Amino acid sequence: MRTNNIRRAAAVGLVASTLLIASFAVGAGPAFAHDELIGSNPKDGSSIPVAPERITLYFEEPPAAGPTALTVAGPAGDSVVAGLPVISGSTVYAPLNAVTKSGHYTITFRIMSDDGHPVSGTLGFTLTATAKAANAAAGPVTNPAAAAAKKDSSSSAPFWIAGVAVLVIVAGVITASRRRSRTKAMSS
């Protein structure tokens, strides 16, 4: 009898601890996700014939309050940004001075992700002709709304799969333990 009580207590403890761990794993999913850049205008690596009026970066989620930087260096290394970066939803943009030199431009950014971690990166584009500022011909790399929907549908899937797998294993252990108890009880 005492052995059965110990087994029951062990099984209950195992189930409770497994459920607790599974709830942490499922609940912690979004905390592991840093905000990601999903597109830019002009598009990273693009060659454009008309100078942009501003640089726009598209992120999966709106950046958190915190330091935000967006710089653009021209072919000679000089800054061509005309003002501070502006956050509008999941978009960060900065106006440019009149860009008059053809060549490679380097975009550097740093935002605060919604989980509190900084996210930074470097992009670039090439202006192929000297022209007055106008909207860049290259659109965003991807549709921000579609990318966010894709993230929402797949980001927590591994945690749910792991949680279900743990529950199946626990159910198997409990079932095997009960069968052993019944077998021993019948043979005594």
The pLDDT, as a whole number, for residue 146 is 46
pLDDT at 91 over 50: yes
Across the chain, what does the average pLDDT equal?
76
**Count of beta carbons in the 10 Å neighbourhood of residue 126:** 14
R_g of the chain computed on alpha carbons: 27
- Protein fold of 33-142: Immunoglobulin-like (2.60.40)
The more confident residue out of 1 and 94 is 94
| pTM for the model | 0.56
The pLDDT, as a whole number, for residue 159 is 52
Q: What are phi and psi of 14, to 5 degrees?
A: -65, -45
Residues 6+ away with beta carbon under 8 Å from 112: 63, 64, 65, 66, 67, 68, 118, 119
pLDDT at 26 over 60: no
Q: What residue segments make up the domains of the chain, in order of their start? A: 2-29+156-187, 33-142
Q: What residue spans of the chain are helical by DSSP H?
A: 2-27, 144-154, 157-187
First to last CA, the chain: 13
32-87 per-position pLDDT tens digit: 567 899 999 999 999 999 999 999 999 999 999 889 999 999 999 999 999 999 99
94-142 per-position pLDDT tens digit: 999 988 899 999 999 999 998 889 999 999 999 998 644 444 444 444 4
156-169 per-position pLDDT tens digit: 445 555 565 666 67
